[in-house]
Amino acid sequence: SGQSEYNLRSPICCIMGHVDTGKTKLLDCIRGTNVQEGEAGGITQQIGATYFPAENIRERTKELKPDANLNVPGLLVIDTPGHESFTNLRSRGSGLCDVAILVVDIMHGLERQTIESLNLLKMRNTNFVIALNKVDRLYGWKVCHNASIVKAMKQQSKDVQFEFRTRLTQVITEFKEQGINTELYYKNKDMGKGTFSIVPTSAISAEGIPDLLLLLVQWTAKTMSERLTYSNIVQCTVLEVKVVEGHGTTIDVILVNGVLHEGDSIVVCGMHGPIVTSIRALLTPFPMKELRVKGSYEHHREIKASQGIKINAQGLEHAIAGTSLYIVGPDDDVEDIKEAAMEDMRSVMSRVDKCGEGVYVQASTLGSLEALLEFLKTPEVSIPVSGIGIGNVHKKDVMKASVMLEKRKEYATILAFDVRATQEAQELADEVGVKIYTADIIYHLFDQFKAYIDNLKE
């Protein structure tokens, strides 16, 4: 077989939802891995990616449909954190995907980040299926390992079936309150036309997993063939910048379309300007293994989309997560590409007030910086920004912010999100009278900044 029989790339599916609804565990269940138990505090704090080849999906869904014709080479699943602090990673994941799985805990119904995720999906018009997870926690559940949900449900007592229907009805009502119509997938005649499908699942005993996989793959291949048609134009996004023992600074990327080769000249957006380098190694985890987990990697001479890839190259230390990666082709002018690569950065910069009066804003990624600038611009807030930065707050940032002490004292302030002020920077700030506000949690951040802003206006 091989990939050549397909002219469709693998759909990219983002898995989203409130903390501890079982996103990572669902992927563990499909992979046959144990990533979740290795996570600090049992919570996901990074964005991840796993490639599921079609043959593994066929194997896993054969009970439901033998030799299913999947029409795509596989499925690339992006795992995101559900914890409230990681809105930026949920946003990055949902910005990359063709389709999504929204996970809801059947015992809890819709929760805060379920609704946040739902809003991200609505905003981008992304289709999704709902995994109504943890059905095995219904009192008296009889395990039917890896069974289709219809078959598993038939095995249950009247009491279990009753509790299931009650909780399902409640969840459907809660979605309705969010303006979303939902229905059990096998009863949904209106899928993709306004009614979203619910697949009951268990990540522990695997009921409903065949249903979830088959529905997702067949539905995307059928309804999104145009979007999934393979193209030679490289479309690639930097997910994370990481130091990996034995590999130096690497970038984890999602190759959405096109092909990458070892030795390719690439350009990525850097904190101090465009980074021009060449791919030293193209690495992937083995199929059904998680990209974000340290392990052994497969080396490739070339990789075709869609894939989650670790790239090793020189000079990546200051690459910015959330930006695009560009290839320099033989006929390309590298200067044009450098310009394109910095475009993300420039569009953010252009929003900074040119009059030179305003606060200083610092964030961990370009994406979160943009979100902050957007917030500060809203009419209710309307706080001018005179300078921006990415990464920790250093003395030089305090110096820049201190310029405002002469002009508008209240703007001699650094609003820092998801980054720390170095001790030296804090000391200098205290000494000269620059305020540094830091926050790690976006929700809290907005509240804190609002309090600060209200204070300013008084």
Answer left, alpha or beta for residue 282, where phi above 0 means left and psi between -120 and 50 means alpha. beta
Per rule CB under 6 A, is residue 450 in the interface with ligand GTP?
no
CB of 292 to Na ion, least distance (A): 14
Residue 320 contacts residue 345 (beta carbons within 8 Å): yes
Exposure on the CB side of residue 413, measured as CA atoms within 13 A: 18
Applying CB under 6 A, which of residues 133, 312, 324, 362 lies at the interface with ligand GTP?
Answer: 133
Per rule CB under 6 A, is residue 457 in the interface with ligand GTP?
no
Per rule CB under 6 A, is residue 304 in the interface with ligand GTP?
no
Alpha-carbon span 2 to 432, nearest angstrom: 64
Applying CB under 6 A, which of residues 9, 60, 83, 338 lies at the interface with ligand GTP?
Answer: 83
Per rule CB under 5 A, is residue 43 in the interface with Na ion?
yes
Alpha-carbon span 127 to 341, nearest angstrom: 29
Per rule CB under 6 A, is residue 134 in the interface with ligand GTP?
yes
CB of 320 to ligand GTP, least distance (A): 24
Q: Which residues pair with 388 in a beta bridge?
A: 361
Residue 76 contacts residue 10 (beta carbons within 8 Å): yes
Look-up of token digits 């946003």: 91
CB of 21 to ligand GTP, least distance (A): 4
Pull the structure tokens for residue 419: 């980054």
DSSP code, position 286: P
> Of 41-49, 64-72, 112-120, 264-272, which segment contacts Na ion by CB under 5 A?
41-49
**Residue with smaller CB distance to Mg ion, 24 or 368:** 24
> Of 2-10, 43-51, 88-96, 329-337, which segment contacts Na ion by CB under 5 A?
43-51
Phi then psi dihedrals of residue 16, to 5 deg: -135, 165
Applying CB under 6 A, which of residues 10, 44, 307, 402 lies at the interface with ligand GTP?
Answer: 44
Look up residue 252 and give its amino acid.
D
Alpha-carbon span 368 to 322, nearest angstrom: 9
Per rule CB under 5 A, is residue 83 in the interface with Mg ion?
no
Per rule CB under 6 A, is residue 22 in the interface with ligand GTP?
yes
List the interface residues with Mg ion, window 21-50 (CB under 5 A).
Answer: 23-24, 44
**Residue with smaller CB distance to Na ion, 26 or 238:** 26
Applying CB under 5 A, which of residues 7, 37, 42, 317 lies at the interface with Na ion?
Answer: 42
- Contact string 411-450 vs Na ion (x = CB under 5 A): ----------------------------------------
DSSP per residue over 307-356, as a string? EEEEEE-TT-TTB-TTSBEEE--TT--HHHHHHHHTHHHHHHHTTS-TTS
- Where do the H-state alpha helices sit in 32-177? 54-61, 87-96, 112-123, 149-154, 158-177
**Residue with smaller CB distance to ligand GTP, 134 or 304:** 134
Nearest to 338 by CA among 270, 254, 261, 239: 270
Per rule CB under 5 A, is residue 20 in the interface with Na ion?
yes
Number of residues that bind ligand GTP (CB under 6 A): 22
**Residue with smaller CB distance to Na ion, 43 or 403:** 43
**Residue with smaller CB distance to ligand GTP, 203 or 239:** 203
Look-up of token digits 């350009």: 267
Alpha-carbon span 100 to 350, nearest angstrom: 32
Residue 136 contacts residue 205 (beta carbons within 8 Å): yes
Per rule CB under 6 A, is residue 433 in the interface with ligand GTP?
no
CB of 81 to Na ion, least distance (A): 8
> Of 9-17, 20-28, 93-101, 227-235, which segment contacts Mg ion by CB under 5 A?
20-28
Per rule CB under 6 A, is residue 203 in the interface with ligand GTP?
yes
Q: How many CB atoms are closer than 10 A to CB 187?
A: 10
Longest alpha-carbon distance in the chain:
75
Pull the structure tokens for residue 200: 């009951």
CB of 28 to ligand GTP, least distance (A): 7
Per rule CB under 6 A, is residue 74 in the interface with ligand GTP?
no
Alpha-carbon span 212 to 448, nearest angstrom: 41
Pull the structure tokens for residue 445: 């951040």
**Residue with smaller CB distance to Mg ion, 24 or 88:** 24
Binding residues (CB under 6 A) for ligand GTP: these are 17, 19-25, 36, 42-44, 81-83, 133-134, 136-137, 202-204
Binding residues (CB under 5 A) for Na ion: these are 20, 42-43
Binding residues (CB under 5 A) for Mg ion: these are 23-24, 44
